[in-house]
């Protein structure tokens, strides 16, 4: 009897064809062996990757094998795929730990990751997106990630007219808190307050309190902060609309509309933001500007309210005046009394070795008519006639242009409309 069972089993095994399965759980399991009884029923469908066993009665033809189960999930393999079928690529077993260059943590039931650059770029694992803080508590939690700094979902508009203008979260987020002296577009050889597009992305850094720092968008020397893709609305929490206008979360609205502008917005400030939510950046004369229009219709603004260069704001669609012709200089100088100054938008590179070298507009193009540039006789002189970078800024004074320290307490400055 035992020999009979063996011969029938051998015949059945050799006549069956195996069914392959895939590691992502989409393939069928292996074909099951039929039973040895005539008309014997096949086994139940197999769990995991194996098919069910066939019937086992003696004396008949083998029964049909059971249907194979779905393919199984495996541990993530640092290949950008979600091998363990938990909704996240390249994450460690469980919810926390280190895997594939990322450290994973959990805060209030949501998963976060701090990831190093891979293949020369910073990116978030599948199942997550770049971090935008929704509450101050969430932002403070990320402090536990920080070793130096990490990239977050904040960016500056490409046409921003100053270093502090045009910043926005990728999604509604908390009020922006910058580290003192930031943003500054550091690294262009021009004074750090000059907007030149060098640092249009942002990082969080730990300066005793977590605060923002502008950074190059192509940076790979820092980590990137990522968060689980999920509903982020926190009812009643402060948020910032994409245009920089403050609001509060209303979670009854769709995700793209749930940051609602305040019904009693704050007073407009001269800070490159639309504080009062009227659609105008630095409106309501917040920067104390007087409009000047030259005979050809070009618009300038004579502005104040800036005690330091970092506080200089020209507003949307304007930049510090370039002064590219003698006619332009004469027009702007005509509004000034003898001894009055107005800051303009020409600066000297810190790499310059001579008094007349390295003078640039804020977009890094050389100043017009250099080296003459309508200088007052004896200017530029760096105060003592030697190039020591004491005076890297410029202003209109007595109908000409002079160099002066960038640390000067500027009371007023000239802006002009951007050329389209």
Three-class SS of residue 312?
Answer: coil
Please say if the pLDDT value at position 127 is more than 90: yes
Reported as half-sphere exposure (CB side, CA atoms, 13 A), residue 195 has a value of 23
| The predicted structure's pLDDT at residue 3 | 39
pLDDT, tens only, 259-289: 887 766 667 777 666 677 776 666 667 778 8
pLDDT, tens only, 64-99: 444 444 456 888 889 889 988 999 999 998 889 999
The total of other beta-carbon atoms located within 10 Å of residue 153's CB is 21
Rounded CA gap, 116 and 118, in Å? 6
- The pTM score is 0.60
β-bridge pairing 359-361 and 259-261: unpaired
Sign of CA dihedral 383, 385, 390, 391: positive
Whether residue 380 is preceded by a cis peptide bond, meaning omega within 30 degrees of 0, is yes
| The predicted structure's pLDDT at residue 335 | 95
> Do the domains 97-232 and 290-417 sit in the same CATH topology, yes or no?
yes
| The predicted structure's pLDDT at residue 208 | 62
Q: How confident is the model at residue 131 (pLDDT cuts 50, 70, 90)?
A: very high
Please say if the pLDDT value at position 183 is more than 80: yes
Q: What is the dihedral of CA 121, 125, 127, 132, to 10 degrees?
A: -60
| The predicted structure's pLDDT at residue 31 | 36
Please say if the pLDDT value at position 353 is more than 70: yes
| The predicted structure's pLDDT at residue 317 | 78
Domain ranges of the chain: 1-72, 97-232, 290-417
Mean pLDDT within 100-113: 91
335 burial type by CB count under 10 A (0-12 exposed, 13-18 middle, 19+ buried): middle
Please say if the pLDDT value at position 5 is more than 80: no
The answer to whether residues 55 and 40 touch, using CB atoms and an 8 Å cutoff, is yes
Give CA angle at 100 (127, 133), nearest 5°.
45
Single out the residue of 24, 20, 27, 125 nearest to residue 75, CA to CA: 24
The fraction of the chain above a pLDDT of 90, given in percent, is 24
Mean pLDDT within 317-339: 91
| The predicted structure's pLDDT at residue 26 | 35
pLDDT, tens only, 361-407: 877 788 866 667 899 999 999 988 888 888 988 999 999 999 988 87
| The predicted structure's pLDDT at residue 313 | 75
Please say if the pLDDT value at position 100 is more than 50: yes
For domain 97-232, give its CATH number from 3.10.100.10, 1.20.58.1690, 3.30.43.10, 3.40.630.10: 3.10.100.10
Among 106-115, 116-125, 135-144, name the one with the lowest average pLDDT: 135-144
Of 48-52, 80-84, 287-291, 358-362, which has the strongest mean pLDDT? 80-84
Single out the residue of 203, 169, 206 nearest to residue 183, CA to CA: 203
| The predicted structure's pLDDT at residue 198 | 81
Rounded CA gap, 247 and 15, in Å? 71
| The predicted structure's pLDDT at residue 15 | 33
For the domain made up of 290-417, give the CATH fold: Mannose-Binding Protein A; Chain A (3.10.100)
Strands (E) across 60-101 are located at 97-99
The fraction of the chain above a pLDDT of 70, given in percent, is 71
């Amino acid at each position: 009897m035992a020999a009979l069972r063996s011969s029938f089993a051998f015949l059945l095994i050799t006549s069956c064809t195996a069914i392959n399965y895939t590691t992502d759980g989409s393939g069928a399991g292996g074909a099951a062996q039929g039973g040895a009884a005539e008309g014997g029923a096949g086994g139940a469908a197999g769990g995991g990757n194996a098919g069910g066993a066939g019937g086992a009665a003696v004396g008949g033809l083998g029964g049909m094998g059971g249907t194979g189960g779905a393919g199984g999930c495996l541990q993530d393999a640092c290949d950008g795929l979600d091998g363990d079928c938990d909704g996240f690529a390249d994450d460690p077993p469980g919810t926390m730990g280190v895997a594939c260059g990322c450290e994973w943590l959990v805060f209030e039931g949501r998963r976060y990751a701090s990831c190093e650059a891979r293949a020369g770029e910073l990116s978030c694992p599948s199942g997550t997106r770049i971090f935008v803080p929704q509450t101050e508590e969430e932002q403070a939690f990320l402090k536990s990630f920080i070793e130096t700094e990490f990239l977050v979902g904040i960016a500056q508009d490409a046409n921003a007219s100053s270093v502090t203008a045009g910043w926005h979260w990728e999604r509604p987020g908390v009020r922006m808190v910058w580290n003192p002296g930031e943003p500054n577009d550091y690294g262009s050889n021009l004074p750090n307050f000059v907007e030149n597009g060098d640092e249009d992305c942002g990082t969080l850094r730990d300066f005793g309190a977590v605060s923002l720092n502008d950074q190059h968008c192509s940076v790979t020397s820092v980590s990137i902060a990522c968060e689980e893709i999920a509903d982020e609305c926190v009812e009643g929490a402060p948020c910032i609309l994409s245009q920089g206008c403050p609001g509060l979360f209303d979670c009854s609205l769709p995700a793209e509309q749930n940051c609602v502008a305040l019904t009693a917005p704050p007073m407009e400030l001269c800070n490159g933001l639309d504080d009062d939510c009227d659609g105008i950046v630095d409106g309501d004369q917040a920067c104390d500007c007087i409009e000047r229009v030259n005979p050809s219709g070009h618009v300038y603004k004579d502005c104040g309210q800036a005690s330091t260069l970092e506080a200089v704001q020209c507003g949307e669609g304007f930049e510090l005046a370039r002064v590219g012709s003698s006619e332009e200089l004469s027009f702007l100088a005509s509004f000034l009394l003898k001894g009055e100054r107005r800051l303009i938008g020409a600066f000297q590179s810190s790499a310059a070795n001579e008094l007349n070298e390295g003078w640039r507009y804020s977009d890094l193009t050389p100043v017009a008519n250099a080296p003459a540039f309508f200088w007052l006789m004896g200017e530029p002189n760096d105060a003592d006639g030697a190039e020591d970078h004491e005076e890297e800024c410029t202003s209109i004074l007595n109908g000409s242009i002079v160099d002066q320290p960038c640390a000067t307490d500027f009371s007023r400055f000239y802006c002009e409309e951007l050329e389209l």
